[in-house]
Structure 1
Amino acid sequence: MPSDLDELEVLTLFVTDVPAAKAFYQEVFGLPVVYEDDASAALRLRNLLLNLLTAKEAPGLVEPAQVAAEGAGVRALLTVRVPDVDAVCAQLAERGVKLLNGPVDRPWGRRTAAFADPSGHVWEVAQDLPR
Protein backbone atom coordinates (compact mmCIF):
# COMPACT_ATOMS: atom_id res chain seq x y z
CA MET A 1 0.00 0.00 0.00
CA PRO A 2 1.42 3.44 -0.82
CA SER A 3 2.70 5.30 2.23
CA ASP A 4 0.18 8.12 1.77
CA LEU A 5 -2.66 5.60 2.27
CA ASP A 6 -1.56 4.15 5.59
CA GLU A 7 -4.05 5.54 8.09
CA LEU A 8 -7.51 4.12 8.67
CA GLU A 9 -9.66 7.18 9.34
CA VAL A 10 -13.32 6.11 9.39
CA LEU A 11 -15.05 2.79 9.93
CA THR A 12 -18.67 2.95 8.75
CA LEU A 13 -21.08 0.34 10.05
CA PHE A 14 -24.49 -0.01 8.45
CA VAL A 15 -27.04 -0.32 11.26
CA THR A 16 -30.79 -0.79 11.51
CA ASP A 17 -31.29 1.43 14.57
CA VAL A 18 -28.89 4.38 14.92
CA PRO A 19 -30.01 5.36 18.46
CA ALA A 20 -29.60 1.78 19.73
CA ALA A 21 -26.20 1.41 18.07
CA LYS A 22 -25.06 4.78 19.40
CA ALA A 23 -26.15 3.84 22.94
CA PHE A 24 -24.29 0.52 22.65
CA TYR A 25 -21.01 2.14 21.63
CA GLN A 26 -21.33 4.88 24.24
CA GLU A 27 -22.05 2.36 27.00
CA VAL A 28 -19.74 -0.49 26.02
CA PHE A 29 -16.77 1.46 24.62
CA GLY A 30 -17.35 4.82 26.35
CA LEU A 31 -17.09 6.66 23.02
CA PRO A 32 -18.06 10.32 22.69
CA VAL A 33 -20.38 11.45 19.90
CA VAL A 34 -18.73 13.99 17.59
CA TYR A 35 -21.54 14.33 15.06
CA GLU A 36 -25.08 13.07 14.54
CA ASP A 37 -28.08 13.66 12.33
CA ASP A 38 -31.26 11.74 11.49
CA ALA A 39 -29.37 9.06 9.53
CA SER A 40 -26.08 8.67 11.39
CA ALA A 41 -23.94 9.12 14.47
CA ALA A 42 -20.15 9.46 14.44
CA LEU A 43 -18.22 8.52 17.56
CA ARG A 44 -14.52 9.02 18.31
CA LEU A 45 -12.40 5.91 18.91
CA ARG A 46 -8.93 7.40 19.50
CA ASN A 47 -7.73 8.43 16.02
CA LEU A 48 -10.64 6.68 14.26
CA LEU A 49 -14.21 7.77 13.63
CA LEU A 50 -16.82 5.07 14.03
CA ASN A 51 -19.66 6.12 11.74
CA LEU A 52 -23.01 4.44 12.44
CA LEU A 53 -25.11 4.89 9.32
CA THR A 54 -28.67 3.69 8.88
CA ALA A 55 -28.67 0.87 6.34
CA LYS A 56 -31.33 2.71 4.30
CA GLU A 57 -28.71 5.37 3.43
CA ALA A 58 -25.91 2.90 2.69
CA PRO A 59 -26.67 2.04 -0.98
CA GLY A 60 -25.50 5.47 -2.13
CA LEU A 61 -22.06 4.76 -0.66
CA VAL A 62 -21.50 1.28 -2.07
CA GLU A 63 -23.32 1.21 -5.44
CA PRO A 64 -23.24 -0.81 -7.60
CA ALA A 65 -22.52 -3.32 -4.79
CA GLN A 66 -25.46 -4.30 -2.63
CA VAL A 67 -25.88 -3.78 1.10
CA ALA A 68 -26.20 -7.19 2.78
CA ALA A 69 -29.51 -7.87 4.46
CA GLU A 70 -29.62 -7.86 8.24
CA GLY A 71 -29.13 -11.38 9.53
CA ALA A 72 -27.43 -12.58 6.35
CA GLY A 73 -24.44 -13.71 8.41
CA VAL A 74 -21.25 -12.25 9.79
CA ARG A 75 -19.16 -10.50 7.16
CA ALA A 76 -16.45 -8.92 9.30
CA LEU A 77 -14.65 -9.29 12.61
CA LEU A 78 -13.33 -6.12 14.23
CA THR A 79 -10.53 -6.78 16.71
CA VAL A 80 -9.44 -4.54 19.59
CA ARG A 81 -6.16 -5.36 21.35
CA VAL A 82 -6.47 -5.26 25.14
CA PRO A 83 -4.04 -6.07 27.96
CA ASP A 84 -6.41 -8.50 29.76
CA VAL A 85 -9.25 -10.23 27.89
CA ASP A 86 -10.75 -11.70 31.05
CA ALA A 87 -10.97 -8.31 32.76
CA VAL A 88 -12.60 -6.77 29.67
CA CYS A 89 -15.09 -9.65 29.50
CA ALA A 90 -16.03 -9.02 33.13
CA GLN A 91 -16.65 -5.35 32.29
CA LEU A 92 -18.73 -6.34 29.25
CA ALA A 93 -20.84 -8.68 31.43
CA GLU A 94 -21.43 -5.82 33.91
CA ARG A 95 -22.78 -3.79 30.98
CA GLY A 96 -25.14 -6.57 29.88
CA VAL A 97 -23.12 -7.69 26.86
CA LYS A 98 -23.38 -11.41 26.09
CA LEU A 99 -20.31 -13.08 24.61
CA LEU A 100 -20.58 -15.10 21.42
CA ASN A 101 -17.49 -17.08 22.42
CA GLY A 102 -14.48 -17.02 24.70
CA PRO A 103 -12.41 -16.15 26.42
CA VAL A 104 -10.35 -18.82 24.75
CA ASP A 105 -6.65 -19.32 24.05
CA ARG A 106 -6.08 -19.59 20.30
CA PRO A 107 -3.33 -21.73 18.72
CA TRP A 108 -1.83 -18.64 17.07
CA GLY A 109 -0.84 -17.18 20.46
CA ARG A 110 -3.75 -14.93 21.42
CA ARG A 111 -6.55 -15.07 23.99
CA THR A 112 -9.81 -13.84 22.47
CA ALA A 113 -13.51 -13.32 23.10
CA ALA A 114 -16.19 -12.11 20.70
CA PHE A 115 -19.47 -10.21 21.06
CA ALA A 116 -21.91 -8.45 18.72
CA ASP A 117 -23.46 -4.98 18.64
CA PRO A 118 -27.24 -4.57 18.22
CA SER A 119 -26.94 -4.73 14.39
CA GLY A 120 -24.87 -7.93 14.44
CA HIS A 121 -21.39 -6.48 13.84
CA VAL A 122 -18.98 -8.80 15.64
CA TRP A 123 -16.19 -7.42 17.78
CA GLU A 124 -13.31 -9.38 19.25
CA VAL A 125 -11.10 -8.44 22.17
CA ALA A 126 -7.67 -10.04 22.03
CA GLN A 127 -4.47 -10.14 24.01
CA ASP A 128 -1.11 -11.65 23.14
CA LEU A 129 -0.24 -14.72 25.19
CA PRO A 130 3.25 -15.12 26.64
CA ARG A 131 5.44 -17.30 24.49
Structure 2
Amino acid sequence: MNAKVTSVFLYVSDIVRSRDFYHEVVGAGVVQELAEYEGGPIALVVLRFGSFTIMLHPQDAHDEEFRDQRLGLGIHLQIQVEDVDRFYQHCIEQGAIIGVSGEPVDQSWGWREFALRDPDGYVWSVYQDKSDGHWTS
Protein backbone atom coordinates (compact mmCIF):
# COMPACT_ATOMS: atom_id res chain seq x y z
CA MET A 1 0.00 0.00 0.00
CA ASN A 2 1.46 3.35 -1.04
CA ALA A 3 0.56 6.43 0.95
CA LYS A 4 1.71 10.02 0.71
CA VAL A 5 1.14 12.81 3.21
CA THR A 6 -0.10 15.78 1.20
CA SER A 7 -1.41 18.31 3.71
CA VAL A 8 -1.90 19.40 7.29
CA PHE A 9 -4.99 21.06 8.77
CA LEU A 10 -4.16 23.52 11.56
CA TYR A 11 -6.67 25.16 13.87
CA VAL A 12 -5.61 28.73 14.62
CA SER A 13 -6.74 31.53 16.93
CA ASP A 14 -6.40 34.33 14.33
CA ILE A 15 -6.65 33.13 10.75
CA VAL A 16 -5.42 36.41 9.21
CA ARG A 17 -2.36 36.56 11.48
CA SER A 18 -1.57 32.91 10.70
CA ARG A 19 -2.09 33.40 6.96
CA ASP A 20 0.31 36.33 7.03
CA PHE A 21 2.89 34.32 9.01
CA TYR A 22 2.84 31.37 6.61
CA HIS A 23 2.80 33.59 3.53
CA GLU A 24 5.15 36.43 4.49
CA VAL A 25 7.55 34.73 6.91
CA VAL A 26 7.61 31.11 5.75
CA GLY A 27 6.94 31.78 2.06
CA ALA A 28 3.88 29.63 1.39
CA GLY A 29 1.70 30.68 -1.52
CA VAL A 30 -1.91 31.56 -0.70
CA VAL A 31 -4.02 29.30 -2.91
CA GLN A 32 -7.50 30.03 -1.62
CA GLU A 33 -9.46 31.87 1.05
CA LEU A 34 -13.05 30.90 1.77
CA ALA A 35 -15.85 32.39 3.86
CA GLU A 36 -18.97 30.45 4.82
CA TYR A 37 -21.08 33.22 3.27
CA GLU A 38 -20.38 36.25 1.12
CA GLY A 39 -18.88 39.04 3.18
CA GLY A 40 -18.43 36.73 6.17
CA PRO A 41 -15.22 36.10 8.07
CA ILE A 42 -12.58 33.86 6.55
CA ALA A 43 -13.36 30.24 7.42
CA LEU A 44 -10.50 28.52 5.59
CA VAL A 45 -7.15 29.54 4.12
CA VAL A 46 -5.29 27.12 1.87
CA LEU A 47 -1.54 27.66 1.44
CA ARG A 48 0.97 25.62 -0.50
CA PHE A 49 4.68 24.79 -0.34
CA GLY A 50 5.40 22.93 -3.56
CA SER A 51 3.10 19.90 -3.42
CA PHE A 52 2.38 20.19 0.33
CA THR A 53 -0.72 22.05 1.51
CA ILE A 54 -1.42 23.81 4.81
CA MET A 55 -5.08 24.45 5.56
CA LEU A 56 -5.85 26.98 8.29
CA HIS A 57 -9.20 26.98 10.06
CA PRO A 58 -10.37 29.26 12.90
CA GLN A 59 -10.32 27.41 16.21
CA ASP A 60 -13.21 29.42 17.70
CA ALA A 61 -15.74 27.48 15.62
CA HIS A 62 -14.57 24.40 17.55
CA ASP A 63 -14.24 25.86 21.05
CA GLU A 64 -15.95 22.87 22.62
CA GLU A 65 -13.42 20.44 21.09
CA PHE A 66 -10.48 22.53 22.34
CA ARG A 67 -11.76 23.32 25.82
CA ASP A 68 -9.04 21.29 27.58
CA GLN A 69 -6.37 21.61 24.89
CA ARG A 70 -3.87 24.20 23.80
CA LEU A 71 -3.29 24.97 20.12
CA GLY A 72 0.09 23.93 18.77
CA LEU A 73 0.76 21.40 21.51
CA GLY A 74 2.00 17.99 20.44
CA ILE A 75 2.75 18.63 16.80
CA HIS A 76 6.16 19.32 15.27
CA LEU A 77 6.45 19.94 11.53
CA GLN A 78 9.44 20.30 9.20
CA ILE A 79 10.40 22.56 6.32
CA GLN A 80 13.40 21.84 4.12
CA VAL A 81 15.14 24.89 2.64
CA GLU A 82 18.18 25.36 0.41
CA ASP A 83 19.98 27.78 2.73
CA VAL A 84 18.94 27.52 6.37
CA ASP A 85 21.10 30.42 7.51
CA ARG A 86 19.56 32.77 4.96
CA PHE A 87 16.05 31.55 5.89
CA TYR A 88 16.86 32.08 9.58
CA GLN A 89 17.93 35.67 8.85
CA HIS A 90 14.71 36.23 6.88
CA CYS A 91 12.66 34.97 9.86
CA ILE A 92 14.52 37.31 12.22
CA GLU A 93 13.88 40.25 9.87
CA GLN A 94 10.18 39.35 9.74
CA GLY A 95 9.93 39.16 13.54
CA ALA A 96 9.24 35.41 13.74
CA ILE A 97 9.47 33.68 17.11
CA ILE A 98 12.75 31.76 17.01
CA GLY A 99 13.00 31.09 20.75
CA VAL A 100 12.55 27.35 20.39
CA SER A 101 16.14 26.56 19.45
CA GLY A 102 18.09 29.70 18.69
CA GLU A 103 20.41 29.96 15.71
CA PRO A 104 20.84 27.13 13.18
CA VAL A 105 23.06 24.29 14.40
CA ASP A 106 24.69 21.33 12.67
CA GLN A 107 23.19 17.97 13.69
CA SER A 108 25.05 14.65 13.75
CA TRP A 109 22.72 13.19 11.08
CA GLY A 110 23.73 15.84 8.54
CA TRP A 111 21.08 18.51 8.91
CA ARG A 112 21.67 22.13 9.78
CA GLU A 113 18.50 23.34 11.46
CA PHE A 114 16.65 25.65 13.79
CA ALA A 115 13.09 25.69 15.07
CA LEU A 116 10.48 28.41 15.19
CA ARG A 117 6.91 28.72 16.41
CA ASP A 118 3.93 29.98 14.45
CA PRO A 119 1.50 32.40 16.13
CA ASP A 120 -0.41 29.51 17.75
CA GLY A 121 2.64 27.63 19.02
CA TYR A 122 2.99 25.01 16.25
CA VAL A 123 6.69 24.16 16.10
CA TRP A 124 8.48 23.98 12.76
CA SER A 125 12.00 22.59 12.31
CA VAL A 126 13.58 24.41 9.41
CA TYR A 127 16.48 22.45 7.98
CA GLN A 128 19.03 22.20 5.23
CA ASP A 129 20.09 18.66 4.35
CA LYS A 130 23.89 18.65 4.30
CA SER A 131 24.23 14.86 4.52
CA ASP A 132 25.40 14.43 0.90
CA GLY A 133 22.45 12.18 0.13
CA HIS A 134 22.64 10.02 3.27
CA TRP A 135 19.35 11.39 4.55
CA THR A 136 16.25 11.01 2.42
CA SER A 137 13.37 13.29 3.19
- Map 1:99-118; keep pairs closer than 5 Å: 99=98, 100-101=100-101, 102-118=103-119
Tell me what 1:63 maps to. none
Alignment of 1:90-101 (within 5 A): 90-99=89-98, 100-101=100-101
Distance verdict in 2 for CA 1:9–1:129, change over 3 Å: closer
Q: Deviations over 1:28-68 (max 9, x none)?
A: 123224232232211122222211111234589xxxxx546
Q: Secondary structure at the match of 1:7?
A: coil
Give me the CA root mean square deviation. 2.3
Residue matched to 2:47: 43
Contact 1:35/1:41 (8 A) holds in 2: yes
1:10-21 equivalent positions in 2, closer than 5 A? 10-21=7-18
Q: Does 1:69 align with 2:66?
A: no
Kindly indicate whether the alpha-carbon contact (under 8 Å) linking 1:34 and 1:44 is maintained by their aligned counterparts in 2: no
Aligned pair count?
Answer: 122
Letter in 2 for 1:115: L
What are the Cα deviations for residues 62-89 of structure 1, in whole angstroms up to 9, with x where unaligned? xxxx546226x73111111112211110
Structure 1 unaligned residues grouped into runs of 5+: 61-65
TM-score by length of 1: 0.78
> Aligned equivalents of 1:26 and 1:57: distance in 2?
23
Q: Residues of 2 paired with 1:42 and 1:115: CA distance?
A: 21
How far apart are the structure 2 equivalents of 1:98 and 1:56? 23
- Aligned mates of 1:47, 1:23 — CA distance in 2: 20
TM-score normalised by the chain length of structure 2:
0.75
Contiguous gaps of at least 5 residues in structure 2 = 36-41, 133-137
1:27 aligns with 2:31: no
**Paired residue type of 2:90:** Q
Deviation above 4 Å: which 4+ runs of structure 1?
none
Match for 2:57 among 44, 53, 56?
Answer: 53
